[in-house]
Every structure is written in C-alpha cells, then in structure tokens.
C-alpha cells in the first residue's frame, strides 16, 4: 500500500472532514480571547501585543486536530467488533482490514501525546487541564455501553474547543466562551441523536445505549429539537452579553436556520436524509456562524 493510501485511510479512520463541526468554535474562542486582551484595539497601531500569536493559533489548531484524532481512533478501536456486525459500519477501516486494531491504538496514543505536548507549549493552564480534556474525549467511547446520555458526553468533548482556545490566549475562564461551549454541547448532542436514529434497531439488539433506543425515534427527535432550542438560546444570550454587532446576528440567523432545516428533513419514519442533516446542515451552521462572528469582532 502506498504512503498516500495509508494517509487517506487514517484520515478516513478519524473522519477528518468532521473537524468542520468543532474547529470553527475553537477559532471563535481564540478570537474572543484576542478581544479580551485588547488585540483588536491595537490591531492597526504600532502596539506589539504578542509576537507569538500566530504560533499560539497554530498550536490551538493542532490541539484540536490531535485531540479529535485520538478520540475518533480510540472510538473506532473500541467499537471494532460492533462495527463489524453492523452492515452500515462494516466497511470502516478496522473491520474491513485497511487498518489493524493495533495500529489504530498506536495512533490514538501518539495523537494523545502530541495533544499534551502542544498544550505544554501554549501555557500552563492548558497543559495542566490537558489530561482532563483527554479523559473526556476518550471516555466518550465507553459511554454507549452503559448510558443513553452518551450524546451529551460527545457534546461535552467538542464543547471544550471554545473554552480551550480562549484559555490559550488569556489564561483564564470567562462567561462568554462558556456560553459558546454550552451552545456546542446542546448543538452536538442534538445532531448526534439524529445521527443515532440510523442504528436504533442495531443498538437495541446489541444492548447498546442511545436516546433513540431509550425514548424511541419520535421522542428522541423531540429531545433533539429541545437541545437545539437550548443551543439557540445560548448563542443569543452570548450575543447579548458580548455586545456584538449586526454581523453576529446574521450569523445567528444562519445557525438557527440550519437547525430548523435539519429537523424539517428528518422524520421518525423517513431517515433518508439523515446524512444531509448531519454533515451538510451542521457544517454550514458552524462555518458560516464562525465567519460572521469573527468578522463582527474585526469591524464592530
């Protein structure tokens, strides 16, 4: 197998394209941190705020990539036997033999170590909190075995992105990035419930836990709608206390529109467009929202 094919296999293993969900919120957290330390106030002056900001931004992006790579590879490693039994997932890299379980575990360990090293070069608080972050993102992989709240744990893992990026810049906690993290928890948990609808019968037959198994498809969708409502409230309240301008609110409108759209195309008895709801709608929601938020920070 060529080196390029191996790289493609590992990128597929970790679903690298799915970084589109949390990465924009990490960037939002980073730029909110810049505003907090006065970057935008001195942007066009001779004030030299921090010569290492670009390096810090790169390190934050690397942390996102390494943490998510570790989490996804570990999830695939733990679930390999279930994936082999499920017709929808039997073509994944480990059950299909493209990547061995041993190599997936080694990839997990390497990504985890690189995440900790990257945090070390950011600042002390990020380094000290890095084991806790890994515990959450790796621990998610076990949760489907004992609790239907697994979706919330996944949301919690991705919600570390805006808080972590803000901490990288400022070194302290603040309400605004926490609100964005709450928005991510509810948003991700909601769309993960929608995604889990596909495996409701398989999960039930194999004693796996999920909200569709626990509540049934119709009620699980209602819960997803409620979580997305909470996400909406969080971004609205964040806009209020953050004193954002009109561009932010345009971004909020797009974000809410994508939430409404995905619920309009997925029904309990019609799951044909789950992947559109999962990937397309949520990818647009996060990227467009981030563009408007960051632009607003520059011009408002």
pLDDT score of 46: 46
**Total number of domains in the chain:** 1
Distances (CA, A) of 239 to 60, 63, 169, 252: 24, 26, 20, 9
- Please check the confidence at residue 15 and state whether its pLDDT lies above 90: no
Nearest CA among 218, 211, 12 for reference residue 98: 12
pLDDT score of 285: 94
First-to-last C-alpha distance (Å) of the chain: 52
Per-residue pLDDT of 105-114, as tens digits, reads 999 999 999 9
**Across 279-287, average pLDDT:** 90
CATH at residue 276: 1.10.357.140
Distances (CA, A) of 149 to 90, 156, 193, 202, 284: 25, 11, 10, 18, 26
Rounded distance, CA 93 to CA 65, Å?
Answer: 19
Per-residue pLDDT of 91-104, as tens digits, reads 999 999 999 999 99
Which pLDDT band holds residue 42 (cuts at 50, 70, 90)? low
- Please check the confidence at residue 44 and state whether its pLDDT lies above 80: no
Alpha helix locations (H) across the chain? 3-13, 19-36, 53-78, 80-85, 101-120, 124-143, 150-170, 175-196, 200-205, 211-215, 217-241, 246-265, 274-275, 282-299
Rounded distance, CA 25 to CA 183, Å?
Answer: 10
- Please check the confidence at residue 48 and state whether its pLDDT lies above 70: no
Per-residue pLDDT of 140-159, as tens digits, reads 999 999 999 999 999 999 99
Domain range holding 105?
3-299
| Residue 267: strand pairing partners | 270
Which pLDDT band holds residue 41 (cuts at 50, 70, 90)? low
Which pair of structure tokens corresponds to residue 187? Answer: 């948003």
pLDDT score of 1: 57
DSSP state of 267: B
Using the structure block, give the residue that is written with the tokens 């302290």. Answer: 172
Radius of gyration of the chain (CA): 20
Distances (CA, A) of 162 to 126, 140, 158, 218, 300: 13, 19, 9, 32, 20
């Amino acid at each position: 197998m060529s080196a390029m094919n191996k790289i493609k296999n590992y990128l597929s293993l970790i679903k690298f394209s799915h970084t589109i969900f949390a990465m924009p919120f990490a960037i939002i957290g980073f730029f909110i941190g810049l505003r907090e330390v006065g970057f935008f106030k001195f942007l066009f002056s001779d004030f030299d705020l921090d010569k290492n900001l670009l390096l810090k931004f790169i390190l934050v992006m690397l942390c996102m990539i390494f943490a998510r790579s570790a989490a996804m590879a570990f999830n695939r490693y733990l679930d390999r036997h279930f994936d082999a039994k499920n017709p929808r997932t039997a073509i994944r890299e480990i059950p299909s033999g493209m990547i061995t379980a041993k190599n997936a575990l080694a990839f997990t360990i390497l990504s985890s170590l690189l995440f900790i090293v990257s945090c070390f070069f950011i600042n002390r608080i990020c380094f000290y909190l890095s084991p806790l972050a890994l515990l959450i993102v790796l621990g998610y992989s076990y949760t489907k075995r004992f609790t239907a709240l697994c979706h919330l744990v996944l949301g919690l893992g991705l919600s570390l992105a805006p808080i972590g990026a803000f901490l990288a810049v400022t070194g302290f906690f603040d309400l605004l990035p926490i609100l964005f993290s709450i928005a991510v928890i509810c948003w991700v948990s909601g769309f993960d419930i929608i995604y889990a609808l596909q495996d409701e019968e398989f999960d039930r037959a194999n004693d796996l836990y999920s909200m569709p198994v626990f509540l049934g498809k119709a009620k699980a969708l209602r819960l997803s709608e409620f979580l997305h409502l909470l996400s909406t409230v969080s971004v609205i309240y964040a806009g209020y206390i953050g004193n954002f301008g009109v561009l932010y609110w345009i971004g909020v409108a797009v974000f809410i529109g994508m939430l409404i759209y995905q619920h309009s195309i997925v029904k309990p008895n019609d799951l044909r467009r789950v992947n559109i709801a999962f990937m397309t709608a949520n990818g647009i929601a996060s990227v467009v929202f981030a563009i408007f938020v960051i632009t607003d920070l520059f011009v408002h």
